[in-house]
Amino acid sequence: MAKKIFLPPKEFAKKAHIKSYSEYKKLYNESVKSPEKFWARYASELHWFKKWNRVFSYTKKPFCKWFEGGKTNITYNCLDRHVLTARKNKAAIIWQGEPEEDVMIYTYERLHRDVCRFANVLKKHGVKKGDRVCIYMPMVPGLAIAMLACARIGAIHSIVFGGFSAKALQKRLIDSEAKVLITADASIRKGGFVPLKDAADEALKGCKTVKSVIVYQRGKNPVKMKRGRDSWWHEEMAAPDITDICKPAIMDAESPLFILYTSGTTGTPKGELHTTGGYMTYVYLTTKWVFDLKEEDTYWCTADIGWITGHSYIVYGPLLNGATSIMFEGVPTYPGPDRFWQIVDKYNINIFYTAPTVVRSLEREGPKWVKMHDLSSLRLLGSVGEPINPKAWLWYHKMIGEDKCPIVDTWWQTEAGGIVITPLPGATPLKPGSATLPFPGIVPDVFLENGKKAKPNQEGYLVIKKPWPGIARTVWKNPKRYIDTYFSKYKNIYLTGDGARCDKDGYYWITGRLDDVMKVSGHRIGTAEVESGFVSHKLVSEAAVVPFPHPIKEQAICAFITLKRGAKESEELKQELRSHIAKEIGPIAKPDRLYFTDALPKTRSGKIMRRILKAIAEGKSDVGDTSTLADPEVVGRIIKIVKAKA
- Rule CB under 6 A: choose which of 292, 338, 409, 584 binds ligand PRX: 409
Q: How far apart are CA 176 and CA 136, in angstroms?
A: 13
* Residue 601 Cβ vs ligand PRX, minimum distance, rounded to whole Å: 26
Decide: is 513 part of the binding site for ligand PRX (CB under 6 A). Answer: yes
Among 210-218, 341-349, 438-446, 493-501, the segment contacting ligand PRX (CB under 6 A)? 493-501
Decide: is 152 part of the binding site for ligand PRX (CB under 6 A). Answer: no
* Residue 499 Cβ vs ligand PRX, minimum distance, rounded to whole Å: 9
**Helix 610-617 vs helix 633-645: angle between axes, to the nearest 10 degrees?**
30
The alpha carbon dihedral of 339, 343, 346, 352 has a sign of: negative
- Rule CB under 6 A: choose which of 70, 322, 497, 601 binds ligand PRX: 497
Decide the pairing of beta strands 132-135 and 156-159.
parallel
Decide: is 414 part of the binding site for ligand PRX (CB under 6 A). Answer: yes
Terminal CA-to-CA distance of the chain, rounded, Å? 29
Q: Which is nearer to ligand PRX, 219 or 310 (CB)?
A: 310
DSSP for 109-176 reads HHHHHHHHHHHHHHHHTT--TT-EEEE---SSHHHHHHHHHHHHHTPEEEE--TTS-HHHHHHHHHHH
Binding mask 366-405 for ligand PRX (x = CB under 6 A): -----------------xxxxx------------------
* Residue 438 Cβ vs ligand PRX, minimum distance, rounded to whole Å: 13
Decide: is 524 part of the binding site for ligand PRX (CB under 6 A). Answer: yes
* Residue 596 Cβ vs ligand PRX, minimum distance, rounded to whole Å: 30
Decide: is 309 part of the binding site for ligand PRX (CB under 6 A). Answer: yes
Decide: is 410 part of the binding site for ligand PRX (CB under 6 A). Answer: yes
Classify 269 as helix, strand or coil.
coil
Decide: is 494 part of the binding site for ligand PRX (CB under 6 A). Answer: no
Decide: is 435 part of the binding site for ligand PRX (CB under 6 A). Answer: yes
Decide: is 357 part of the binding site for ligand PRX (CB under 6 A). Answer: no
Binding mask 237-276 for ligand PRX (x = CB under 6 A): -------------------------x--------------
Q: How far apart are CA 19 and CA 21, in angstroms?
A: 7
Residues 6+ apart with CB under 8 A from 344: 300, 352, 373, 375, 377, 378
Q: Which is nearer to ligand PRX, 417 or 591 (CB)?
A: 417
Q: What is the DSSP letter of 206?
A: T
* Residue 385 Cβ vs ligand PRX, minimum distance, rounded to whole Å: 5
Q: Which is nearer to ligand PRX, 108 or 279 (CB)?
A: 279
Asked if the bond preceding 256 is cis, omega within 30° of 0, the reply is no
* Residue 269 Cβ vs ligand PRX, minimum distance, rounded to whole Å: 11
* Tally of CA atoms within 13 A in the half-sphere of 59 that contains its CB: 4
Whether the CB-CB separation of 145 and 115 falls below 8 Å is answered with: yes
- How many residues bind ligand PRX (CB under 6 A)? The answer is 23
Decide: is 178 part of the binding site for ligand PRX (CB under 6 A). Answer: no
Whether the CB-CB separation of 152 and 116 falls below 8 Å is answered with: yes
Residues 6+ apart with CB under 8 A from 237: 114, 117, 118, 121
Decide: is 558 part of the binding site for ligand PRX (CB under 6 A). Answer: no
Residues 6+ apart with CB under 8 A from 153: 119, 122, 123, 127, 128, 129, 246, 249
Residues that bind ligand PRX (CB under 6 A): 262, 307-309, 383-387, 409-414, 435, 496-498, 510, 513, 519, 524
